[in-house]
Amino acid sequence: MKTSFSYEGIKKKGYKVTRQREIILDILRKANVHLSADEIYIKAKSRSPGIGLTTIYRTLEMLYNLGYVNKYDFGEGRARYELNDTMVETCKHHHHLVCLRCNRVIDYTDFVPQETELITKTISGISRKYGFKVQTHIIQFYGICKECQKRKNKNGRL
């Protein structure tokens, strides 16, 4: 099953499986939104009050380096994380629409069939031309969401 798989992966790399890491991984597994380190901290704290924020950061970094979590910057001044699709089957590959005004993030999953093909082609082109070994990619669209378009902002700028 998936659970033991991830732990095995962690062990195999020489990392130890600790109670804290199990909790953090479980929180990520159950989350269906992008969590910040602090949000994970709050959730983890309710299960294991002694846990430290430092551990959250260290674990997230480890998981990121292992390729088990994706790390995003949506322009809020802090990172957000989610389990990679290789870890959770419910988490389908997706991209993001980021609202420049309210910072809301919409997951975008409606790919035209061409996309996968084009990305695959691009990745192999990148490998050939630059010798660059692509692990992941992100595509983010920045703009103004539906709600913010209605709302006029006061100073007329932006």
Partner DNA sequence: TTGAAAATGAAAACCAGTTTCAGTTACGAG
Partner DNA sequence: CTCGTAACTGAAACTGGTTTTCATTTTCAA
Which residues neighbour 158 within 8 Å (Cβ) at sequence distance 6 or greater? Answer: 101
Residue 121: name its binding partner from DNA, a second copy, none (Cβ under 5 to 8 Å by kind): a second copy
Member of 57, 95, 119, 140 binding DNA (CB under 7 A): 57
Residue 151: name its binding partner from DNA, a second copy, none (Cβ under 5 to 8 Å by kind): none
Closest by CA to 72, choosing from 139, 133, 148, 146, is: 139
Q: Residue by residue, what is the 3-state secondary structure of 85-109?
A: CCCCCCCCCCEEEEECCCCCEEEEC
Member of 15, 47, 66, 126 binding DNA (CB under 7 A): 15
Tokens of 120: 């695959």
97 binds a second copy (CB under 8 A): yes
Show the binding pattern over residues 72-91: x = contacts DNA (CB under 7 A), - = does not: -----xxx------------
How far apart are alpha carbons 80 and 36 in whole angstroms?
4
Closer to a second copy by CB, 52 or 147: give it. Answer: 147
Q: Which residues pair with 67 in a beta bridge?
A: none
Q: Where along the sequence are the contacts to DNA (CB under 7 A)?
A: 11, 14-21, 36-38, 48, 50-55, 57-59, 61-62, 77-79
